[in-house]
A and B are shown apart, each in its own frame.
Chain A
Amino acid sequence: MNSVIGENLTVDSEPARKAPRLHPLGVRFMHWTNAVAMIIMITSGWGIYDDYVIFHGTHFPPALRLGSWAAPSLLWHFAAMWLLALNGLAYLVYGTVTGRFKQRLLPIRWHELMQTLGDSLHFRFTHEDLTVYNAVQKLLYVVVILAGIWQVLTGLAIWKPVQFSAEVALLGGFQAVRLEHFIGMSIIVGFLIVHVALSLLVPSTLWAMIGGGPRLRRTAVRT
């Protein structure tokens, strides 16, 4: 016999199902797949960039490039792009359909953002409840998701400037698109530096992305 006790709890003859973890297995899989794909794309991209630098007088040092010259860099780039795009698409669909994006990343409130930024700059990193993202986290994740989409769009324009000539024209021309692709990469690299540093400063976040993290609190349970 079922009887409703609390708002979200029911008691019946079957054992209650455990609440889901902060990072379900699918999320963790997609996260680490994305990490590998992004690192390959960035470092092979640096190898491609060095073949004709945009910023005179500088280039990425060979030790940081994936591919000993441009041709292997291109091979890596055009292979990993499939991994990045398909995994990224799966993540976007998952995040939308399960409501995860809405739950985790929105809303971002200005005063919370200023508060958290202030804390961070004073090195006050606490994260008692991993299941609630602070405003800076939310902003960073939204930015990197948008940057990833931007890289795919500008990347397609560089790859196919005739087939996608309308897109190239919209973005300001071929060399402009190269610069835009470079800027998107810079944003993602900036994110990576902050993201990795913070996850090492608060290691429980790292374990959470490996093992799944804490179970979500009952009252917060949705779909």
Chain B
Amino acid sequence: MAAKRFPQPVRVGDLIGRRILEPLESRPVLGSVMAVVREPPQTLAIVMKCGGFLGFGGRLIAVPADALGLLGNELMLLDFTPAQLDAFPTFAPDHAVVVAADEQIRMGLAHPAH
């Protein structure tokens, strides 16, 4: 899926803190980027804080980077619904390797949801 979205290089450090949005007119925030990790065998994943309220609570989940699209200085959830995210297992950092801030990864682009 991501290949069709013309992946572009993006600096990992620039992604940290960016909001992740649901593709609706009202642009609901689903979470924000906490870290970028590589999970075996070499899958890039975005660790995001999901759920919770006003920064309290919530849990960490790892979403494949391919399932998200870059949208300016935000990200859009493209290949899952928010309900599906709720079913993701809580992120277990055991085998994941955090990607350094200055590294560039490639991510597909999103288009404003109207």
Contacts and interface: CB of A to CB of B under 8 A. Distances in A.
Q: Do A and B touch directly, given a CB cutoff of 8 Å in the complex?
A: yes
Interface of A: 50-53, 56-59
A41 to B, nearest CB: 21
B13 interface: no
Contacts of A57: 26-29
A50 B21 CA distance: 15
Give the size range of B's interface with the partner: under 10
The CB with the most chain A CB atoms within 10 A, among B27, B29, B114, is that of B27
A53 to B, nearest CB: 6
A56 B21 contact: yes
Interface in B9-27: 19, 21, 25-27
Contacts, number: 20
Interface of B: 19, 21, 25-29, 112, 114
Contacts of B28: 56-57
B8 to A, nearest CB: 22
A34 to B, nearest CB: 31
A81 to B, nearest CB: 24
A53 B25 contact: yes
A52 B19 CA distance: 15
18 contacts: A51-B114, A52-B27, A52-B112, A53-B26, A53-B27, A56-B19, A56-B21, A56-B26, A56-B27, A56-B28, A56-B29, A57-B26, A57-B27, A57-B28, A57-B29, A58-B26, A59-B25, A59-B26
B51 to A, nearest CB: 14
- The winner among A52, A53, A57, A59 for most chain B CB atoms within 10 A is A57
A144 to B, nearest CB: 29
A59 B113 CA distance: 13
Contacts of B114: 51
A50 B114 CA distance: 10
A130 to B, nearest CB: 44
Contacts of A52: 27, 112
